[in-house]
Amino acid sequence: MTPSAFPTRPPKVKPSPEPGELRERALRLLARREHSRAELVRKLERAGFLRDDIALLLDAFEAKNWLSDRRFAESYVADHRARAGSVKLAYDLRQRGVGDSIIESVLGDNRDSELERAREVWRKKFATAPADAAEKAKQMRFLQSRGFTPEVIRRAIRGGE
């Protein structure tokens, strides 16, 4: 069969969204979970809404405290801190458009438990102290990939030995 024998469909043309849809779509997204402002902008632009309209709406949402980067950061850290260290959490929050001052503030509240979280992640994965230098390096790389600092990693593995 030749390629021209296959029926072709006309390309899909995305209709421009109605003005009232912007508010509804943004509220639906926020009803599911907290979002950072940058995430909402990205999702709403992808849906075809204009950046200026989005900015005006999100300003109004922030004024009503329906949208908050700080609340998003706190929620994200609470959901992910059991599996990740502060380095990874900070990176993930930056990728989602959260400002450094908010990140520092939110992560500063969780620094006390960093060592215990690293030990728990280490215990779940390995449970036994490293037998040799190669095994220790493997365990350290694992914890590093989870976003823990070198000092916390050394202390966590030393505590497991």
**Residue ending a domain, choose from 67, 97, 129:** 67
For residue 57, give the CATH number of its domain.
1.10.10
Same domain flag for 122 and 141: yes
Same domain flag for 62 and 95: no
- Split into its structural domains, the chain has a count of 2
Nearest residue to 98 (alpha-carbon basis) of 87, 106, 86: 106
Asked whether 93 and 76 are in contact (CB, 8 A), the reply is yes
Same domain flag for 75 and 63: no
Query: Which band of pLDDT confidence, cut at 50, 70 and 90, is reported for residue 16?
Result: low
Burial 100-118 (b: 16+ CB within 10 A, else e): eebbeebbeebeeebbebb
Residue 15 gets the label, from left (phi > 0), alpha (psi -120 to 50) or beta, of beta
Widest distance between CA atoms in the chain: 68
User: 14 is written with which tokens?
Assistant: 């995305």
- Does position 161 have pLDDT exceeding 70, yes or no? no
Same domain flag for 91 and 154: yes
Say what angle helices 86-95 and 69-80 make with each other, to 10 degrees: 140
Establish how many alpha carbons lie within 13 A of residue 125's alpha carbon, considering only the half-sphere containing its beta carbon.
21
Owning domain of residue 134: 71-160
Same domain flag for 91 and 124: yes
The whole-number average pLDDT for the span 146-158 is: 90
Residues 21-75 have pLDDT tens digits of 999 999 999 999 999 999 999 999 999 999 999 999 999 999 999 999 999 999 9
- Does position 12 have pLDDT exceeding 60, yes or no? no
User: 161 is written with which tokens?
Assistant: 């030995």
What is the rounded average pLDDT for all residues in the chain? 87
User: 152 is written with which tokens?
Assistant: 């916390």
pTM: predicted TM-score of the whole model, two decimal places: 0.75
